[in-house]
Amino acid sequence: MSANIYHQQLLDRVTSRKATIGVIGLGYVGLPLAVEFARQGFNVSGFDVDEWKTGQINAGNSYIPDVAQKDLADAVKAGRLRGTSRMGELANMDVIDICVPTPLRKTKDPDLSYVVKAVDAVAATLKRGQLVILESTTYPGTTDEVVQPMLEAQGLKANEDFFLAFSPERVDPGNQKFHTRNIPKVVGGVGDASTQVAAALYESTVDTVVQVSSTRVAEMVKLLENTFRAVNIGMVNELALMCHKMDIDVWEVIEAAKTKPFGFMPFYPGPGLGGHCIPIDPHYLSWKARQHGFECRFIELAGHVNSSMPDYVVERVAEALNTARKAINGSRVHILGVAYKRDVNDMRESPAIDVIELLARRGAEISYTDPWVLELRTDGHSLKSIDLQEALDARPDCVVICTDHSAFKYDALVKSGVVIVDTRNALKDRNASNIFRL
């Protein structure tokens, strides 16, 4: 059977919603995608080695805040979504979408072990006419240098016998405005046929699909997006340090600057970078660039500034406590918000963890409040979230706002008179003498 026949057959199955779809990795990227495919009429199997996750899906329970319980339960009840840990069932899929983590090693080099394991599972049952898409964020060249050779090792050829593409995930946990369906999807295949079938798949599910010329371009798009944010956040973090030295309110500066209707986009300082993407992706780009003899000095400098912010927060805590004639050593410090961003339960790379560990090393007694994270385990610490009023009744020496969840009510905090270090400008409308801003 010719490649054109496989191509047309898969296109027909996709456009008629008869294609079976397997999503490997059921986290913040994979589960929303699987549910959206099912909502659009596809039969979807979610694959994950974590049987708790697959069991929750089969029970109709959503464990990702961005996935509505009703949407998931309806898809399961209709028989369009199921979870499984049996990777051999990948043989029954027309489309396989890989959405596994891509962390960094301790050496700041890319860790593709999850991708490799997923591709191994796909390769073990790969058949003619299947479409394989990698969504995991990675360095340019991963799809054609790592994934393609592994899939072709048994003799099938990409873009002829099977189809292979990269489409970067663009998930923003907690964002109520943008979600899987209305975020434009970038798609690049190893050839025209692969790009076309991957684009057709996403066109059946999302509002806008942007086709690019290769997998490398699609991979670089994702790194540009997140490096852009990391560099600009690094710049504004450095500006915050500068403004503190010059006794200027950096938040007021930003608010005034963003009134310019062109040529300026506001970014905001904070206690550091968090989440799976922005603190990590620039390192993928720097690592790949070094292989080509290029040093990303600008990007790496931004990373240095951002990674130093937890230390700066601790210094601000020391300065704030000093006004009450207290030292960090022996003080009771309460952390308000430990998730990496507002209104999510995601702890990945959260700067609050670094702040907690740095304070603990200097002798502080730590407690925290976070309605999204009820238990916290860090190196040497196991803590449980307590109610903010309970924390205030215990009279802490200092409260540090690390994450400004919308559920927090700040009136009682400000009125308590406790020393407050606000790293998010959550108290921007208040000017009490006990508030110390970033």
Q: Which one from 99, 243, 277, 296 is the annotated catalytic residue?
A: 277
C-alpha span between 310 and 297 (Å, rounded): 22
Is 277 designated active site?
yes
Give residue 238's region: left, alpha or beta (phi > 0; psi -120 to 50): alpha
Q: Identify the CA nearest to 185 among candidates 216, 210, 214.
A: 210
Give dist(CA 21, CA 370) in Å, integer.
37
Q: In whole angstroms, what separates CA 305 from the centre of its chain?
A: 20
330, 323, 376: which is closest to 354 by C-alpha? 376
The whole-angstrom separation of Cα 353 and Cα 339 is 9
β-pairing, 381-384 vs 375-378, is: antiparallel
| Nearest Cα residue to 268 out of 57, 127, 425, 136 | 425
The CA distance from 67 to 186, in Å, is 22
Instruction: Identify the CA nearest to 346 among candidates 408, 276, 281.
Output: 276
Active site residues: 277
